[in-house]
Chain A
């Protein structure tokens, strides 16, 4: 097989794969732009003849949907911020100090990553019920935070590892104390690692279904992922186009964040999977 033929086959396979992976999203877009009459035409009307933005208008002007989106942003942003804040000191200590029990501790943190939230949500529900903390965003944020911590510790540690200790030593000679060194030198240099941990946690939080579904029941508190599940339960064939628009509204923020920050995210997955 000559290289030229190999290149053609590579292009062919790439195009087929890209089409297969893109098709579900394109279909979603197609449905969301249709009138009910055109939904019933199926694949024959992949490109709607009378495209309409009415479905989006209905979804986006619904006050409830705005609330769901805002709730999702709030929960996953604060959860991600909390995870990074909690993980950073531990990651710093793990990167800079040697001490007894460090290996088992870091392995223990990694093992927590493998525990399904489904296992712990059962007792958590009971604790929070007894404390009267169900129906509270603070509880959900705390759980998101904990779910994000293990991966964050490892990702941020890798980031600190890449910063030469000599830089810190130089600052110490210049008379900076440890807090100053950390705030002025080390943290700014570790910003890419902190940012990628934050973004990865945001995306995980945006996808979360189980935790808010169990801990929250009042409609005005739900994030978008739970809201579209409930919406799907109440929709029928005649509202497929609305469900498609709602799904798209739930998916687009995650896609946009991903497209804007793809490099950080890919690097984070590699560091997380290969090192961790």
Chain B
């Protein structure tokens, strides 16, 4: 069927659906970003006002700082936790230990919980009312309660914790698959040479899994940048703007302040970051494929 034009018929449904819901809207978001439209009022003129107002907004540095911090902390912790559990599972499998499947199931169960429910669950856990789970536990063992959600720094930490609880399973699965693909002969040879477990981890596991870690870092970064429902339900972006990340800011700007031009200008930024990361991801995949 090489060169046959009819081949595109097979792709027609996909192209129509993705074109209508993604490609045309993306083009339009870029157009809106140069316009003075609001959510309800049509475009009356074009210009850079949207960019000027959105990028000149005094709150933007804070939003970007929050986004950077939330993404960095999330991506590092998601992968550290995911890697630790994956390595634990592999060791348990190898030694024939009990309950490894159960551990995997428990971690994965959190992954299917909707982001909104995740935010609400952690709000109940971290509630600063006298009966909040974590604080009342702290009091039971004689420690002072912590302002988990009303203190700006703690609120950021709480958002990261909720995100990591829900999201680690993805990294765990990716790393579990990657670790099992490492040739066991490498470890046998290292053991014969007397390498300690730490040395084996640093000089075999990490280098062999480098590709998986790189790919996973990019995927998890994109996922973290693009979602905000956990934060919305947990803190609503507060206290003040302490946990308001870029995607939540766009959401508020467009759907509560009706500032379509400014919201679109920031959506273009979000899109540009995602696409840049995707290109890096594709370059990595192609290099691995070529090898």
Contact A11–B115 (Cβ < 8 Å): no
Scoring B residues 7 to 26 as 1 if CB is less than 8 Å from chain A, else 0, what string do you get?
10011011001101111111
Confirm or deny: A112 has a beta carbon within 8 angstroms of a beta carbon on chain B.
Answer: yes
Contacts of A7 in B (CB 8 A): 95, 97
Confirm or deny: B186 has a beta carbon within 8 angstroms of a beta carbon on chain A.
Answer: no
Contacts of A100 in B (CB 8 A): 2-3
Q: Which of A18, A105, A254 contacts B106 (CB 8 A)?
A: A18
Contacts of B108 in A (CB 8 A): 258, 262, 265-266
Given contacts A98-B2, A122-B260, A149-B14, contact A116 B247 (CB under 8 A): yes
Contacts of B29 in A (CB 8 A): 119-120, 122-123
Q: Which of A31, A150, A208, A273 contacts B124 (CB 8 A)?
A: A31
Q: Which secondary structure dominates chain A's binding surface? A: helix
Contact A251–B267 (Cβ < 8 Å): no
Confirm or deny: B32 has a beta carbon within 8 angstroms of a beta carbon on chain A.
Answer: yes
Scoring A residues 97 to 125 as 1 if CB is less than 8 Å from chain B, else 0, what string do you get?
11110000101011110111111101111
Given contacts A21-B106, A114-B274, A274-B174, contact A210 B251 (CB under 8 A): yes
Confirm or deny: B113 has a beta carbon within 8 angstroms of a beta carbon on chain A.
Answer: yes
Given contacts A116-B247, A273-B216, contact A259 B137 (CB under 8 A): no
Contacts of A114 in B (CB 8 A): 222, 274-275, 277-278
Contact B95–A3 (Cβ < 8 Å): yes
Confirm or deny: B254 has a beta carbon within 8 angstroms of a beta carbon on chain A.
Answer: yes
Give chain A nearest CB distance to B275 CB in angstroms: 7
Give chain A nearest CB distance to B176 CB in angstroms: 8
Contacts of B137 in A (CB 8 A): 42-43
Confirm or deny: A27 has a beta carbon within 8 angstroms of a beta carbon on chain B.
Answer: yes
Contact A93–B26 (Cβ < 8 Å): no
Q: Which of B1, B3, B22, B222 contacts A146 (CB 8 A)?
A: B22
Contact B131–A39 (Cβ < 8 Å): yes
Contact A262–B105 (Cβ < 8 Å): yes
Contacts of A24 in B (CB 8 A): 110, 121-122, 125, 165
Scoring A residues 118 to 153 as 1 if CB is less than 8 Å from chain B, else 0, what string do you get?
111011111100000000000000110111011001
Contact B21–A109 (Cβ < 8 Å): no
* Max count, chain B CB within 10 A of own CB: residue among A99, A123, A153: A123
Q: Which of A53-61, A167-175, A187-195, A237-245 contacts B (4 or more CB under 8 A)?
A: A237-245
Scoring B residues 65 to 104 as 1 if CB is less than 8 Å from chain A, else 0, what string do you get?
0000000000000000000110010011001010110110
Cα A85 to Cα B226 in complex, Å, equals: 26
Contacts of A6 in B (CB 8 A): 91, 95
Contacts of B13 in A (CB 8 A): 85-86, 89-90
Cα A266 to Cα B263 in complex, Å, equals: 37
Cα A145 to Cα B16 in complex, Å, equals: 12
Scoring A residues 40 to 54 as 1 if CB is less than 8 Å from chain B, else 0, what string do you get?
111110000000000
Contact B22–A97 (Cβ < 8 Å): no
Given contacts A86-B13, A258-B108, contact A240 B124 (CB under 8 A): yes
Confirm or deny: A162 has a beta carbon within 8 angstroms of a beta carbon on chain B.
Answer: no
Contact A119–B267 (Cβ < 8 Å): yes
Contact A115–B173 (Cβ < 8 Å): no
Contact A13–B88 (Cβ < 8 Å): yes
Contact A21–B3 (Cβ < 8 Å): no
> Nearest chain-A residue to B37 (Cβ)?
A126
